[in-house]
Amino acid sequence: MKILIRDGDWWLGEQLASALGDDGHLQTPVPYDTVIGHDDSTDTLVGGHDALVVFGYNQQPTDPSAIVDHSTRQLYNLLNAASDAGAKRCVYVSSLKLFADYEENLTVTEKWRSLPPTDDVPLLACHLGEVVCKEFARDRRIQVATVRLGFPVEQGDRAAAQSSGQTAAVSSGDAIEAIKRALTAESLAQWQDIHVQSPVENQRYLMHAAKELLAWP
């Protein structure tokens, strides 16, 4: 499988590319500052790829309008070109921070409505990216798995998440494994939300979809 990784210069994107390479997949990491236009350069970029991984929650040091543009217009251009070129699946890596305003004692699942903030531009842009992806899935142009990662994302194995003391933490190892499985899972709907965090003490979020669809954790 040949996989394009948007924002592949983020440390988690770099680790994912390495893990996919170890599994024999070809990957094309695309740096965050690559401008995705509606032109031939984007067609050339996506040509020949079977799937995409898009990291939707970024906290790059740039102005708010550029962050929103990255997650809306440029994401639209990317998905438009990729679906036209024959890519079948997009894994959009979102964040469970979109549900952080719910009280911790509530049993939040994938069926709950997210609560995008108005004062956190990167997180709001992440939500807008979900909306863009959903419209492509609704039009049946590309299958989308939205993997909402826990927070914080701790570098290392599951022990790193457990030692953080955070009830919504996810280790980079767990995050990468879940993304890899979302790329190849066979029983996904056209649009599929999947919540992923590491199993930690007093775990905050349920992961029924991850267990059912990804056989994880």
pLDDT in tens, 113-147: 999 998 999 999 999 999 999 999 999 999 999 99
Q: Is the pLDDT of residue 66 over 90?
A: yes
Mean pLDDT of 189-204: 96
Rounded CA gap, 30 and 52, in Å? 11
How many domains does the structure of the chain reveal?
A: 1
Q: What is the pLDDT of residue 86?
A: 96
First to last CA, the chain: 23
> Cis omega before residue 122 (within 30°)?
no
Return the DSSP state at 38.
S
Provide the residue range defining the domain that includes 6.
2-214
State the maximum Cα–Cα separation within the chain, in Å, rounded to a whole number.
50
Q: What is the pLDDT of residue 61?
A: 75
Give pLDDT tens digits for 92-120.
999 999 999 999 999 999 999 999 998 99
Residue 195's CATH number? 3.40.50.720
Q: Is the pLDDT of residue 77 over 90?
A: yes
Q: What is the pLDDT of residue 58?
A: 81
Query: pLDDT class for 59, splitting at 50, 70, 90?
Result: confident
Query: pLDDT class for 62, splitting at 50, 70, 90?
Result: confident
As a whole number, the mean pLDDT across the chain is 96
Smallest Cα–Cα separation from 52: which of 18, 6, 95? 6
With contact defined as beta carbons under 8 Å apart, do 182 and 194 qualify?
Answer: yes
Angle (CA) 94-95-96 rounded to 5° is 135
With contact defined as beta carbons under 8 Å apart, do 29 and 13 qualify?
Answer: yes
